[in-house]
Structure 1
Amino acid sequence: MSQPRTLRIAMNGVTGRMGYRQHLVRSILPIRDEGVRLDDGTLLRVEPILVGRDESKLRELAARHGVERWSTDLDAVVADPSVDVLFDASMTSLRVKTLTKAIEAGKHVFTEKPTAETLTEAVDLARLGARSDLTIGVVHDKLYLPGLVKLRRLVDEGFFGRILSLRGEFGYWVFEGDVEPAQRPSWNYRAADGGSMTTDMYCHWNYVMEGVVGRVQDVYTKTVTHIPARWDESGERYTATADDAAYGVFTLTTPGGDAVTAQINSSWAVRVHRDELVEFQVDGTHGSAVAGLFGCVAQPRSATPRAVWDPDVPTPERFREQWITVPDRGGVVNGFRAQWEEFLRDVAAGRPHRYDLLSAARGVQLAELGLRSSATGRRLDVPEIDL
């Protein structure tokens, strides 16, 4: 068997919540400890290098998790020839500059999204990546979670027959901050600071719709700022200028050419009456399924009860009990870690990652079109991006 191989990964932005919890603690540290077995039997190991702006936080994280290297000098880390991969989970406003620098320095790249603040920047970045021979991946974590893996499996096995529609419900109540502290940073609700439900979530919904059903052909969106005033981390009242909810209707095209209507509601001002914080329902001629991030239930046509509308008599049926649980196949792995392992195998093999900068640019495009649709009140076509 071949000797173990090590990839050095510069992790930029690990002092933030997502970068720390999902990417460092739940992904890279377990991979560091256990390795990733490649197709030829080689054990691939990783060596993280923590990068950020706060020296004291980096020093503390490195000591807590036994990480030898950390740095506040991103340029020096990118220029270091021993560094193989740059991961970025820092501010979106800095992402284009950071990723451009890394690609031009010959580093493989794995990045959070959005990849840019504008479509023009996202496309330029995708073109730069396409001209390189590097492995470049964008986090599409939800497609690796158990619920959506099972939903996609049902699609691949033809369970639905002809797919008719997709419906998504996402969100929860984010406290205003006056009585109960808010669960999300205040910048999320200020447009000038990059806040927006649409820009935050449409990059996710684009890859979910693509990954489960098909490409988005057009979009109509209504954005709303339901809560006009909130309180920041210092207890100061501020005006919420960013949309905190987005209600979207999309037309998708399946690989077979069928048109599918999709609806996704996203809100930070909704109270949850669902099994999970996000759920997607796919309906088809042969069956339906509902998936969250972890669970998935289905109802085939052969087991579909005959529903009868009678407003004068309380319904005796327990509709949720009429669905069957879709089982797991194989072990359940954290979705972020699962994609990290796939990306690292791609780096080791010198091949492209299936979720690249072009897929990320389509997410930025959908967010821009969603905001424009809301501003104009029009349904807008989603053109192909030409690299």
Structure 2
Amino acid sequence: MSTKKIGIIMNGVTGRMGTRQHLIRSIIAIREQGGVPLANGDYLMPDPILVGRNKNKLKALAENYNIDRWTTNLDDALTDENNIIYFDSQTTSLREKAIKQAIEANKHIYCEKPTSTSLEGSLKLAKLAKEAGVKNGVVQDKLFLPGVMKLKRLIDAGFFGNILSVRMEFGYWVFEGDWQECQRPSWNYKKEEGGGIIVDMFPHWRYVLDHLFGSVQALSAVATTHITERMDEAGNTYKATADDAAYATFELENGVIASVNSSWAVRVNRDDLLTIQVDGTEGSAVAGLRDCKTQHRVNTPKPVWNPDIENTIDFQDQWEEVPDNQLFENAFKIQWEMFLKHVYQNDSFPWDLLEGAKGTQLADLGLQSSEERRWLEVPSLNV
């Protein structure tokens, strides 16, 4: 048994998501556990080099987590042959150019989504990676959330019978920044900087719908900006130019109808920040980020509509929790380990740059549908 190092360029990890999920809870956690176990008994140890524009932030991260390498020069990191993977969690507007550089340097690619600000750019990256023969993957973390994995367990077991519909509710109140600090960066609300909830969340909904319920065939969406004025990190008031809520209906390949509401201007009165309700002929389920509950047809109550009398049924009490039955690790860490094994020993990894392009496609079509106020077909993609 031996431990083998694998050099990883981590660009953009000074941001909130990059630091918390990709660096601390994934790469650092993998290092602390002794690496990723391989099929031959060896272990693969991530050797990250942190890349970004802010020297002080990089230095502080490296010191806090015992990382030897960091730089503000991406070219230097790309020319080092020991670095064989390039990871990108920068803001969307910077991602396409950097990934293209990394492909040209013959690095394997793993990145956040959206992979580009346009479908054309996302498809170009997928094509370049295919032509270069580099392995590539896109973060699709929602598939590895405990609640969603429990939901997938129910689907695979045939619990639902014929699935009829999916209802997804996502969002929470993001403060405007005046009397309480905003929980999200200001660029999220500026269209000119790649912001907007459709651009941010529709790539997630694409892979969730595709991989759990069937590929998306058509959509109708309405995007809006409910909160038109916000305050940025420096305390300056600015006009919100990007959508902060979207209300969409998707038709899937097998006749399933999915209704998906996404909003940063909604107060939560549900079990979690994301809930997915699936209704089928044999049963229903509601999944959150970590939990999942079911109601089988034999346990379904029989309400009668009568607004003149008080309701006697406790509907929430009619559902049963799906047990864990396994240890659930961090969703980002799970996919990182899968990608590392994909690179090193060619394990299966279906979530490539083409899958990432499908997410960008759905975002583009969502914005187009809203602007033109009509249903749109979702064409198949290939490179």
Q: Same fold (TM over 0.5)?
A: yes
The aligned counterpart of 2:7 is 8
- Report the Cα offset of residue 133 of structure 1: 2.9
SS at match of 2:256: strand
Q: Which deviations, in whole Å up to 9, do the C-alpha atoms of 1:172-208 show, x marking residues without a partner?
A: 1111111111111111111111111111110111111
Map 1:225-240 to 2 at 5 A. Answer: 225-240=225-240
- Report the Cα offset of residue 81 of structure 1: 0.6
Unaligned runs of 5+ in 1: none
Aligned-partner Cα distance in 2 for 1:51–1:239: 31
Aligned-partner Cα distance in 1 for 2:99–2:325: 36
Aligned-residue sequence identity (percent) comes to: 51
The aligned counterpart of 1:295 is 291
Q: Do the aligned partners of 2:93 and 2:193 also contact (CA within 8 Å) in 1?
A: no
Q: Do the aligned partners of 1:152 and 1:211 also contact (CA within 8 Å) in 2?
A: no
Map 1:72-151 to 2 at 5 A. Answer: 72-151=72-151
The aligned counterpart of 1:31 is 30
**Aligned pair 1:325/2:321, yes or no?**
yes
SS at match of 2:83: coil
The aligned counterpart of 1:45 is 45
The aligned counterpart of 1:281 is 277
Q: Do the aligned partners of 2:92 and 2:114 also contact (CA within 8 Å) in 1?
A: yes
Unaligned runs of 5+ in 2: none
Aligned-partner Cα distance in 2 for 1:107–1:32: 21
**Aligned pair 1:373/2:369, yes or no?**
yes
Map 1:181-330 to 2 at 5 A. Answer: 181-253=181-253, 258-330=254-326
Q: Do the aligned partners of 1:134 and 1:350 also contact (CA within 8 Å) in 2?
A: no
Look up the equivalent residue of 2:379 and give its one-letter code.
P
- Report the Cα offset of residue 30 of structure 1: 1.0
Aligned-partner Cα distance in 2 for 1:158–1:354: 23
SS at match of 1:386: coil
- Report the Cα offset of residue 352 of structure 1: 5.3
Aligned-partner Cα distance in 1 for 2:186–2:61: 25
Q: Do the aligned partners of 1:287 and 1:298 also contact (CA within 8 Å) in 2?
A: yes
- Report the Cα offset of residue 294 of structure 1: 0.4
SS at match of 1:61: helix
The aligned counterpart of 2:180 is 180
SS at match of 1:367: helix
Look up the equivalent residue of 2:26 and give its one-letter code.
S
Q: Do the aligned partners of 2:362 and 2:378 also contact (CA within 8 Å) in 1?
A: yes
Look up the equivalent residue of 1:307 and give its one-letter code.
P
Aligned-partner Cα distance in 1 for 2:348–2:321: 35
**Runs of 4+ off more than 3 Å:** none
Aligned-partner Cα distance in 1 for 2:151–2:233: 39
- Report the Cα offset of residue 379 of structure 1: 0.2
The aligned counterpart of 1:60 is 60
- Report the Cα offset of residue 42 of structure 1: 1.6
Aligned-partner Cα distance in 2 for 1:234–1:105: 38
Look up the equivalent residue of 1:27 and give its one-letter code.
S
* Aligned match for 2:343, one of 334, 344, 347: 347
- Report the Cα offset of residue 130 of structure 1: 2.0
